[in-house]
Chains A and B, each alone.
Chain A
């Protein structure tokens, strides 16, 4: 997606009374590309789906209100970082519950359901830093380099966190399967 032109048009057409037709189409294309990933990432950090939706909304409106000069080099990394900042800020204000994973248990087939429920429990036992990497890697299929940009860490650290998290998940899921 050619994002700099989209952002330029969006800001140029921003009016207090609402969005023009062309700007609305641009915003819709951005939303369709990024809302799902941002929502799932928000869920990784927060326990409340409503809050995760609020984060998505805040990120898009924040993008339109952006006053900083200069273009955004990597829009996806920018949006994920904005979602991360907003979610971590919200986490400080709330009592933290175990976060749900990126998986929708309701949408699972009967054969996937047990695995999804076990994954939910296992995922909640991972430290936040590992949950973030696992969610961005497995749900959004980002590279370690892209994950590193979002989290301000090195690509090696991202890969190492991912391997540790996956190993821990396997261990926990194996235990659940043996219990069952």
Chain B
């Protein structure tokens, strides 16, 4: 058909003529380039879920922190009576010399040194402190 003068062709023949021309193709290297290309990682969780994960993680951390605090507190309080008020006052009185040296806010923590409330434990500490202050 290409040999026939183009002006003599009908519309259909003209279309047929153009369709019969060879078509361009991409170079063969492109195929390998596309197929060997590294793909992106699989899709991550949807954006809506990320804040929820954050909130849940924060709540878990807070709960764990609270549990640790309660556990620490329980080592002091249950079954251990506070020392008598007189002992605490005596302790403050005995360490007054520390405050006079320039530590006005210093107080001695009057905690029992064993599971059983025992003023002797405090007294032993007091004696050691006093001995230390006297250069003993």
Contacts and interface: CB of A to CB of B under 8 A. Distances in A.
Using C-beta atoms within 8 Å of the partner chain, give the interface range for chain A: 35 or more
Interface in B9-56: 11, 14-15, 17-27, 30-31, 33-43
Interface in A165-180: 166, 169-170, 173-174, 177-178
B21 A103 contact: yes
A12 B45 CA distance: 14
A53 B36 contact: no
Contacts of A107: 22
B128 interface: no
B38 A16 contact: yes
Given A103-B24, A166-B14, A31 B39 contact: no
A173 B23 contact: no
Contacts, number: 114
Given A53-B26, A174-B7, A35 B31 contact: yes
A150 B66 CA distance: 61
Nearest to B11: A166
B3 interface: yes
A111 to B, nearest CB: 5
A96 interface: no
A112 B21 contact: yes
Given A36-B25, A103-B24, A177-B7, A138 B42 contact: no
A102 B23 contact: yes
Contact of A65 (B11, B14, B40): B40
A18 B129 CA distance: 72
Given A119-B21, A170-B14, A14 B39 contact: yes
Interface residues of B, number: 32
A119 B34 contact: no
Nearest to B3: A111
Contacts of B2: 111-112, 115
A19 B6 contact: no
Contacts of A104: 21-25
Nearest to A135: B23
Task: Name, among B7, B18, B33, the residue most crowded by chain A CB atoms within 10 Å (CB to CB).
Answer: B18
Nearest to A18: B38
A116 B20 CA distance: 11
Interface in B75-123: none
A16 B21 contact: no
Interface in A50-97: 52-53, 56-57, 60-61, 64-65, 67
Nearest to B39: A14
A12 B30 CA distance: 24
A39 interface: yes
B6 A173 contact: yes
Given A18-B36, A65-B40, 10 more contacts: A14-B40, A15-B39, A16-B39, A35-B30, A40-B24, A57-B30, A61-B34, A64-B39, A119-B21, A178-B7
